[in-house]
Amino acid sequence: MDEEQIYARLEGVFQDVFDEDSIKVTPELSAKDVDGWDSLSHIRLILTVEKAFKVKFSTSEIGRLEKVGDLVALIRARA
């Protein structure tokens, strides 16, 4: 799976989790850029991403994520 496919799938996940069809996923997107992205929605987001991509992240990996580009790199490393 290439980056373009990952971003396309992530955009659907973000739009679903945050119930906002206008979210555009970019490498620089972070929690401060999305209304409602708090600790609870972050957990829902990570669980949904794990299910969508059939991967599992460790707590330390999740803790190092700062922006969507980091998440994409992590997904690519598991694919």
Each residue's pLDDT tens digit, 3-43: 999 999 999 999 999 999 999 999 999 999 999 999 999 99
**Given the structure tokens 């955009």, which residue do they identify?**
11
Q: What are the DSSP E strand ranges found in 1-79?
A: none
Return the higher-pLDDT residue of 53 and 78. 53
In sequence order, the 6+-apart residues with CB closer than 8 A to the CB of 55 are 49, 75, 78, 79
**In degrees rounded to 5, what are phi and psi of residue 43?**
-65, -45
CB atoms within 10 A of CB 43: 11
Angle CA(3)–CA(39)–CA(35) in degrees, nearest 5?
70
Please give the pLDDT value at position 73: 97
Domains, the chain, ranges and CATH? 3-78 (1.10.1200.10)
